[in-house]
Amino acid sequence: MSIITQYTNRLRDRLDVLPTWVRALGLLLVVALAFYLPYLNVLPFAYIRTDLSATGTDWASVLFLVVVYMIVAVGLNVVIGLAGLLDLGYVGFYALGAYSVALFGSTSSPVVEAIQNKFGLSEEWAVPFAICVPIAIAMALIAGVILGAPTLRLRGDYLAIVTMGFGEIIRICARNLDNVTNGAAGITNVPVPPGPEVDGRPFFNVSEPERWYWLALVVLIILIWMARRLEHSRVGRAWLAIREDEDAAAIMGVAAFKYKLWAFAIGASLGGMAGLLFGSKQQYVEPNGFMLNLSFLFVAMVVIGGSGNILGVLIGAFLLTYLPERFREFQEWRPFAFGVALVAVMILRPQGLVPSRRRAREFEDRKVEAEEAAADV
């Protein structure tokens, strides 16, 4: 076992034996700090801000993006980390979430215009945001089931290519279906969550990104709680069993296909949720925002952080979103550095930066097995 793993394990053991109230207090402090982050301006901690130089990005917007990608990572973790299904088209669900809220909620979307004409509604009318949310989640969920039902019976590697195709199909459809999605021009006027007007402007507006950040943070916390409950439920144990050995799980009476479909659908709906937040904050969606590379980025977040462990994937999402924004000066070099980092991290720490303990132990076993096999030859 590497020294880092030993050290983190010891740290975790120490944390585990602390009284519940101390741990709750610690958690509360972390959450409070997370809410305070946009205002963080005390040196030396302020160096983590991304807007220190003139060319920097707005700090609260970066935080918002980090949290949205954390939601994505939590969702994808259900699919990859828990159920062990390789989904390379996750961006498709993300795009579906963003596009649903735009298509149904924006006054300038062709779908809303069609509904207006059909029922003789005023030009101001659009589906309210509160209804767009379940629509977006449902669209992503249904897409997950439609995609999963025929493909989840395939072996893992085929699943990867089919999901990748799905991600591309969603984007190409968004780009080409001019009379539904406005094509490459995209949709403007995506609705924002309702709220009291402050200074004559809606509560959620473009110039106050920290409100968006707090909203996303609340959503993230709720989703993390739900994901944790799922992980430790009967469904979660079924996923782990399928991930480790699908045949053995099936023999033990786990309905593998059913639970895989569940994982797919739940993961998809979380992706849709993240997309919805993103589209709503931007107030504009366009097909080029959902390129396939984003899917790879999502998978990298989960795997680098430590798939199967929520804390791990949160850290992965944070690093892969925050670092490129922090080092915007080196924009031209970012993809190169990103590639080098991917290879280096994975070779040095294939289990991810913060793996779950169960996962870490499995890796140790596999390593020993590989070494023994090599020694036999």
Partner 1 sequence: MDFDALINGLDRHTLDGITRGSIYALVALGYTMVYGVMKLINFAHSEVFMVGTWATLGTYTLIGASSGMGVGMIIGATVLALLAAMLASAGTALAVERIAYRPLRKKGAPPLIFLITGIGCSMVLVETFGQVLKVFFGPPFGRVLVNVPAVLPTKVVFTIPGIDLAITNTRIIIIFGAIAMMVALDFFVNKSRLGRGVRAVAQDPDTASLMGVNQDRVIMLVFVLGGAMAGVAALLFTIQYDSTKFDIGFIIGVKAFTAAVLGGIGNLRGALIGGLVLGVVEVYASTVWDSSWADVTAFVVLVLVLMFRPTGLLGESLGKARA
Among 142, 145, 230, 346, binds partner 1 (CB under 8 A): 346
Across the chain, how many H-helices and E-strands are there?
16, 2
User: In a 3-state reduction of DSSP, which class is residue 205?
Assistant: coil
| 361 binding partner 1? (CB under 8 A) | no
Considering only residues 299 to 318 of the shown chain, the ones binding partner 1 according to CB under 8 A are 299-300, 303-304, 307
What minimum distance in Å lies between the beta carbon of 353 and partner 1?
A: 13
Among positive and negative, which fits the CA dihedral 214, 218, 224, 225?
Answer: positive
| 323 binding partner 1? (CB under 8 A) | no
Among residues 294, 295, 305, 288, which one has the least CA distance to residue 341?
305
What minimum distance in Å lies between the beta carbon of 93 and partner 1?
A: 16
Considering only residues 149 to 168 of the shown chain, the ones binding partner 1 according to CB under 8 A are 150-151, 153-158, 160-162, 164-166, 168
Judge whether 120 and 142 are in contact, CB under 8 Å.
no
Measured from the CB atom, the residue of 109 and 351 that comes closer to partner 1 is 351
SS3 breakdown of the chain: % helix, strand, coil, rounded to 5? 75, 0, 25
Q: Which stretch binds partner 1 (CB under 8 A): 27-35, 58-66, 118-126, 330-338?
A: 330-338
| 185 binding partner 1? (CB under 8 A) | no
| 128 binding partner 1? (CB under 8 A) | no
| 350 binding partner 1? (CB under 8 A) | yes
Q: What is the DSSP string of 255-287?
A: -HHHHHHHHHHHHHHHHHHHHHHHHHHHTEE-G
In the shown chain, the binding pattern of residues 200 to 239 toward partner 1, with x for contact by CB under 8 A and - for none, equals ----------------------------------------
**First vs last C-alpha separation in the chain:** 24
Non-local CB neighbours of 210 within 8 Å, separated by 6+ positions: 38, 39, 60, 63
The Cα–Cα gap between 23 and 366 comes to 33
What minimum distance in Å lies between the beta carbon of 326 and partner 1?
A: 19
Residues that bind partner 1 (CB under 8 A): 80, 86, 150-151, 153-158, 160-162, 164-166, 168-169, 172-173, 175-176, 292, 296, 299-300, 303-304, 307, 332-333, 335-336, 338-343, 346-347, 350, 363, 366-367, 369-371, 373-374, 377
